[in-house]
Amino acid sequence: MNFTIRAATLEDCKDVSRMIKELAEYEKISHQMKTTERDLEQDGFSKNPFFQGIIAEVPEHLKSRDGHTKVGYSLYFYSYSSFKGRAVYMEDLYVMPEFRGNGIGKALMAKVSKRGLDAGCSQLNFTVMNWNKSSLDFYRKQGCLDVTSDLGYHCMRCEDDALEHLAQREL
């Protein structure tokens, strides 16, 4: 399939926001989604951006049933491993269902990997839900390690009231 992969711009925030909603519906966590198109504009495209984006786009004649030409995205940011040094974290990798199986996901992930390597990173990290077998299989096939199953890493989170409460203990 004919598609292009490129860095996301401010003008892509509307489509990225739409696709985050689609992903949230797929993962049955729409009720948890708080980010808006405006948040993405502010957080990704101001002076010290919190993330970078990559867009997958198809030509007009291949557009989706709903009329979209931006059919996939990835959000990533630079991170750090105290043992291994510079790393890149892939927050999302999404391709609209009707465009899957064409190598678009792999191309998005390749671009994120290339950006990481170019910045001196030796690791790409991300999370997957345990019920998402097709994604887990896909990533394993790309040579990825499941550090939860294989090494015992647990992801932890502190948010909302618990986070406020913790911060109040600051010296």
Judged by CB under 8 A, the chain residues 21 through 60 that form the site for a second copy are 23-24, 29, 32-35, 39, 43-44, 50-51
Question: Quick one: 34 or 65, whose CB is closer to a second copy?
Answer: 34
Closest distance of CB 131 from a second copy, Å: 6
**Count of residues near a second copy by CB under 8 A:** 79
> For residue 5, what is the enclosing H or E element?
strand 4-7
Q: And the tokens for 149?
A: 């199953």
| 79 binds a second copy per the rule CB under 8 A | yes
- Tell me how far CA of residue 118 lies from CA of 1, 40, 87, 143, in angstroms: 27, 25, 11, 20
**Minimum distance of a second copy from residue 10's CB (angstroms):** 16
Interface with a second copy (CB under 8 A), residue from 75, 95, 99, 102: 75
Residue 10 in the binding site for a second copy (CB under 8 A): no
CA nearest neighbour of 108 among 121, 122, 120, 96:
96
Do 108 and 5 contact (CB within 8 A), yes or no? yes
Quick one: tokens of 105?
């996901």
CA 140 to each of CA 24, 111, 136: distance values in angstroms, whole numbers, following the listed order? 23, 18, 6
Q: Spot the catalytic one: 76, 89, 139, 153.
A: 139
Instruction: Map the footprint of a second copy across residues 97-156, applying CB under 8 A.
Output: 106-107, 109-111, 113-114, 116-117, 122-131, 136, 139, 142-149, 151-156
80 is catalytic: no
11 contacts a second copy (rule: CB under 8 A): no
Nearer to a second copy, 69 or 123 (CB): 123
Q: How far is the CB of 60 from a second copy (least distance, A)?
A: 19
Strands lying side by side in the sheet with 85-95: 4-7, 52-57, 70-81, 85-95
